[in-house]
Amino acid sequence: MTGPLSKPPLSRLVDVVDVPPEGLHVAFEATSAERDAMAAAFDLVALPRFVASFDLAGTARRLKVRGHVDADIRQTCVVTLDPFDDQVHEDVDVTFSEDIPPEGGIPQTEDDGTSRREAPDPIIEGRIDLGALAAEFLALGLDPYPRKPGAEFTHDGADGSGTSPFAGLVRLKGSPTEDDV
């Protein structure tokens, strides 16, 4: 992925003061260049489609972002090494706040009394980046060990003969001697 000071592969900045009291709906589709950048960042063969849709509600100090990320992806199968197409559908439910508790001071409950397991994401310089959020949820939705449908890893040897894939190495080395045992 990209480093902390490099440009993110997708960015859609929203000024939190521009979110009206009744909320704001934001939807976007990544451009071809943005999809190529995300594909490279997340080690995908291709990213033919990427769309995100969010509903923002709250104040300029604390915003709730709910929505979803949908993508058509092309990955490489870890078993066959063949490219294959798949889809990612991720629901998003994130809180952003100007008031971030100090390290280790994660609040146990929200203002509405619901339990909270993680601190809110920061509002930085009065803005949130919905593009970076969408790309993060794409990354979370990717299978780290993608398998093409029907692909199975077997230990029967590459030729299906039931011999170990290491049998060829044993033949190259020759018969074991007492020194080998």
Write the pLDDT tens digit of every residue in 8-35: 899 999 999 999 999 999 999 999 999 9
Residue 130 tokens, joined: 């919905």
Taking only the tens place, the pLDDT of each residue in 104-133 is 555 555 555 555 567 899 999 999 999 999
Q: How many CA atoms lie within 13 A of 170 on its CB side?
A: 8
Cα-to-chain-centroid distance, residue 73: 12
- State the pTM of this model: 0.74
Assign 91 to helix, strand or coil: strand
CA distances from 44 to 37, 86, 146 (A): 10, 11, 10
Q: Give domain limits for the chain.
A: 13-156
> For residues 96 and 52, what is the distance between their CA atoms, to the nearest angstrom?
18
- Output the pLDDT for position 160: 57
> For residues 107 and 130, what is the distance between their CA atoms, to the nearest angstrom?
24
Residue 95 tokens, joined: 């809180």
Assign 162 to helix, strand or coil: coil
